Amino acid sequence: MMVVMKSNASQDQIEKVVDAIQSNGLTPHLSVGVDHTVIGAIGESHVVPLETFELLDGVEQVVRISRPYKLASREFQPADSIFPLDGFSIGGEEIPIIAGPCAVENHDQLLEAAMAVRKVGANALRGGVFKPRTSPYSFQGLGKEGLEFMKEAREQTGMPLVVEITSQSQVELLCEYVDVLQVGARNMQNFPLLRALGETHTPVLLKRGMSATIQELLMSAEYILSGGNERVILCERGIRTFETSTRNTTDINAVPVLKSLTHLPVVLDPSHSTGNVDFVPAVARAAIAAGADGLIVEVHPHPAEALSDGKQSLTPEKFAEMVKQVDAVARAVGRKLVSVQETSEAQA
Ligand code: PEP
Ligand code: MN
């Protein structure tokens, strides 16, 4: 449930509500808004009568949240969450693009990719160093060495880094280097990992599992939020269906559905959702038209030589073309890309 305090509620009154929540075996979550402080009471709250809190001083109203995910719900927070990252925000009117190779393969590949995507409008750099491959014989990623290359790319381009985490044993190392921790589709329900991420202060980009429902995605986000980490970005990356002409099926519905159910930012990954470079720009445009707050896209300087996901990786030239198209769609729906000015300057 959610306790909405009066706009003039004192600190002492807020503390008394927090104490009452705790003494009823629930966990308080404070959200300080412009007008009101809202305190979430998370746990088995259905057994606690509303009056327990309604009668306390400074309380305006007590509302039950009907969804199984509480902190992620729009009922708990009606306004969109906007998270500032390095140099831009995600979740607001401006749309950032995260781009880069599937995997960090070597120094020159990464630096070339980073410079190329930055020049034409990327705002953050992606690159996996721990790769969750279907085959144990496939390239597994460079680990710490790859993080050193990512760090250099960050220094040279100014872009924040988005890197996948595959195990809670990597938390300490990755948090030292990266700005956003990506949870891949295969780990969406790795609950010990989600709990470990809840204890960090690093933003998390949580990808939808390939057979996960939207509700399951939101429940996974709730694991992270309930641990105290408020910065969760959701990512639609395609789901498994009977269709085999693309790697996955982009659930474009997920974008407006998620936007209606949650205040968290929603991004879309047209690379994994199609698995085919020819379809990536069209699906990227569709995502923005449907209301996505950002894109995460695979770009490789030489896709034919890529050690993973080359078939779905854009060349920097195709990426530049896609950015222009996506910007036109963003403007058509009353938004715009982050740093478009800089992008067009770089292209001129
Ligand atoms: C990736 O981003 O390279 C990746 C492995 O994605 P997903 O977890 O969506 O398959
Ligand atoms: Mn990939």
Mean pLDDT (whole number) for 186-192: 98
Mean pLDDT (whole number) for 303-314: 98
The CATH architecture assigned to 83-347 reads Alpha-Beta Barrel (3.20)
- Contact between 308 and 131 (Cβ < 8 Å): yes
Q: Cα 311 to the chain's mean position, in Å?
A: 24
pLDDT of residue 348: 43
% residues pLDDT > 90 (the chain):
93
Ligand 1: which of 193, 237, 296 to mutate, judged by most atoms within 8 Å of the beta carbon?
237
What are 128-137's pLDDT values in tens digits? 999 999 999 9
pLDDT of residue 339: 75
Q: Where are the domains of the chain?
A: 2-63, 83-347
Residue nearest to atom 10 of ligand 1 (CA): 185
Q: Is the pLDDT of residue 100 over 90?
A: yes
At residue 230's C-alpha, the angle toward residues 97 and 199, to 5°, is 110
Ligand 1 atom closest to residue 235's alpha carbon, by position in its atom list: 9
Answer whether CATH 2.40.340.10 is correct for domain 2-63.
Answer: no
- Contact between 343 and 316 (Cβ < 8 Å): no
Ligand lying nearest the CA atom of residue 309: 2
Residue nearest to atom 6 of ligand 1 (CA): 184
Q: Which of 155, 164, 174 is nearest to 115 (CA)?
A: 155
pTM for this prediction: 0.94
pLDDT of residue 287: 98
Rounded-to-10 torsion of CA 167, 169, 172, 173: -80
Please give the backbone phi and psi of residue 270, each rounded to the nearest 5 degrees, phi first.
Answer: -75, -10
Mean pLDDT (whole number) for 50-64: 95
Ligand 1 shell residues, CB under 6 Å? 102, 128, 132, 184-186, 207, 237, 272
